[in-house]
Amino acid sequence: MLKQWTYVEVEQIYQQAMTELVFQAQSIHRQHFNNHEIEPCVLLSIKTGACPEDCKYCSQSGHYKTALEKEKLLDKEAILNKAREAKESGAKRFCMGAAWRSPPEKEMENLQDIIKSVKALGLETCVTLGMLNANQAKQLKDAGLDYYNHNLDTSKAHYPKVITTRTYQDRIDTLNHVANAGLKTCCGGILGLGETKEDRINFLLELSQLDKLPESIPINNLIRIAGTPLGDAKVIDNIEIVRVIATARIMFPQAMIRLSAGRKNMSDEMHAMCFMAGANSIFLGDKLLTAENAGDNRDQLLMAKLGLSLETA
């Protein structure tokens, strides 16, 4: 039977002494994962910009003037070339993101073909395409898709301050369609959106209350994009990020916890703390969708320094 967390229980975990919090998280982590392995993934933007949503953190929103140049959906061969490069770099999973409110019906057949072709390379597949209806979720499952990413982003209470063009319930509905189709769920959030500690605790609590627990939880550190409303947001304290990761590991012992956006400016020491707290996946490459990422050379050096290994596909 799944644990039914309460706010008080999550708060007690989150607020305890850092040494005890990280010790508990690492102890649980070792029960379910090899503590020396970090799963490598690659994320590619397959359709960039001109999104009708108004997410205040996003360079791809059509509501804001950023330096981003919009691009149409990439053709299949261009995507497959990137997927082959990802596999050669050691990636286990190839993730594809498209800046849509929801995938156009006219593109569904093409998307299914792309997923099948990436799967044929021997890679796990994940896509994030916006909101889905039940039939679209089934079509993606039939194509062999492994994971669908659709983040809650933040707490339900803070959400309207960040996004107004779709509701929190819209996100829940898509996650339910994904679960009902038999797809694995990748669902996490972004830290540094102006949220409070209480919002961060509630975000984790709300993740635990989904009808189907996520198998993958990306934790993103906001990349502040000039031209977006959150372009000058206050930088979140690193210790808060570690607390979120450690609490997530305790609450979701079998989930992959992905240290996602914002790693480029993280120190080696901060990376080490996140891995000690239970993060066990990163995205490789110099770019994460449209933002700068840490880069393969740095990651290889970091893994060597920490005595960790990037799990191969």
Please tell me the predicted confidence (pLDDT) of residue 180. Answer: 94
Please tell me the predicted confidence (pLDDT) of residue 313. Answer: 41
pLDDT digits (tens, 9 = 90+) for 240-293: 999 999 999 999 999 999 998 888 889 999 999 999 999 999 888 755 554 555
Q: Is the pLDDT of residue 219 over 90?
A: yes
Residue 84 designated active-site:
no
Residue 55 designated active-site:
yes
Q: Which residue of the set 41, 186, 187, 274 is catalytic?
A: 186
Name the pTM for this structure.
Answer: 0.90
* Contact present, 256 and 39 (Cβ < 8 Å): yes
Tokens of 78: 């261009």
Please tell me the predicted confidence (pLDDT) of residue 215. Answer: 95
Q: Which residue of the set 126, 171, 187, 249 is catalytic?
A: 126
Residue 51 designated active-site:
yes
Please tell me the predicted confidence (pLDDT) of residue 216. Answer: 94
Mean pLDDT, residues 76-88 taken together: 89
Residue 274 designated active-site:
no
Tell whether 57 is covered by a domain: yes
Residue 187 designated active-site:
no
Tell whether 18 is covered by a domain: no
pLDDT digits (tens, 9 = 90+) for 37-69: 999 888 888 887 667 788 888 877 666 676 666
Q: Is the pLDDT of residue 228 over 90?
A: no
Q: Which residue of the set 41, 93, 95, 274 is catalytic?
A: 95
Please tell me the predicted confidence (pLDDT) of residue 51. Answer: 79
Tell whether 312 is covered by a domain: no
Domains of the chain: total: 1
Q: How many angstroms separate the Cα of 180 from the Cα of each of 90, 173, 214? A: 31, 10, 13
Domain of 141, CATH number, reads: 3.20.20.70
Tell whether 26 is covered by a domain: no
Please tell me the predicted confidence (pLDDT) of residue 312. Answer: 52
Query: Who wins on pLDDT, 262 or 311?
Result: 262
Distant-in-sequence, close-in-space partners of 27: CB < 8 Å, separation ≥ 6? none
Domain extent, residue 96, equals 36-304
Residue 41 designated active-site:
no
Mean pLDDT, residues 291-297 taken together: 59
Please tell me the predicted confidence (pLDDT) of residue 43. Answer: 87
Q: Which residue of the set 58, 93, 171, 200 is catalytic?
A: 58
Tell whether 100 is covered by a domain: yes
Q: What is the 3-state secondary structure (H, E, C) of the chain?
A: CCCCCCHHHHHHHHHCCHHHHHHHHHHHHHHHCCCCEEEEEEEEEEEECCECCCCCCCCCECCCCCCCCCECCCCHHHHHHHHHHHHHCCCCEEEEEECCCCCCHHHHHHHHHHHHHHHCCCCEEEEECCCCCHHHHHHHHHCCCCEEECCCECCCCCHHHCCCCCCHHHHHHHHHHHHHCCCEEECCEEECCCCCHHHHHHHHHHHHCCCCCCCEEEEEECCCCCCCCCCCCCCCCHHHHHHHHHHHHHHCCCCEEEECCCHHHCCHHHHHHHHHCCCCEEECCCEECCEECCCHHHHHHHHHHHCCEECCC
pLDDT digits (tens, 9 = 90+) for 136-184: 999 999 999 999 999 999 999 999 999 999 999 999 999 999 999 999 9
Tell whether 7 is covered by a domain: no
Q: Is the pLDDT of residue 295 over 60?
A: no
Q: Which residue of the set 93, 166, 249, 258 is catalytic?
A: 258
- Please, what is the average pLDDT of the chain? 89
Q: Which residue of the set 51, 200, 263, 274 is catalytic?
A: 51
Q: What percent of the chain has pLDDT over 70?
A: 92
Mean pLDDT, residues 94-122 taken together: 90
Tell whether 24 is covered by a domain: no
Please tell me the predicted confidence (pLDDT) of residue 35. Answer: 87
Residue closest to 312 by CA, chosen among 87, 58, 161: 87
